Copies of this chain bind each other. A is one copy, B any other.
């Protein structure tokens, strides 16, 4: 894929409200929970491209699993905040997808680089992303 294609990638955004369940006694969102928010974003990004993960398992026998995350915590989110999760695929390989994601309020609070792999739903062994899926994900 050329850089021209990359430039055309749209950034998908999804709203997340912070509830008590997301916070800790430090008064802010618990650090692991941003990973939940980011995954909600990726799930909704897939759905916006016409894919339900339940169908991926049923029709193709594959699931996406997270291989690697690099997350930086810049500023804390707080109870009741209305956040915006962004999802930007930056590389879609044979069996992997790499995302840049953010969690934002008025400014960027958390950034993430997330690498997910397509694996067989039973064996968890890496498999190629089905062509029918891969094609649609670039749109």
Interface positions of A (Cβ within 8 A of B)? 17, 19-21, 23-28, 30-33, 35-36, 39-40, 43, 52-54, 63, 65-73, 76, 78-80, 121, 124
Partner of A31, one of B35, B53, B63, B124: B35
Oligomer: number of copies: 4
Residue numbers in B under 8 Å from A23 (CB-CB)? 24-25
- Chain B residue with the shortest CB-CB distance to A71: B69
A94, B17: Cα distance in complex, Å: 30
- Chain B residue with the shortest CB-CB distance to A38: B32
Residue numbers in B under 8 Å from A26 (CB-CB)? 20, 25, 63, 65, 121
- Chain B residue with the shortest CB-CB distance to A18: B25
A69, B67: Cα distance in complex, Å: 14
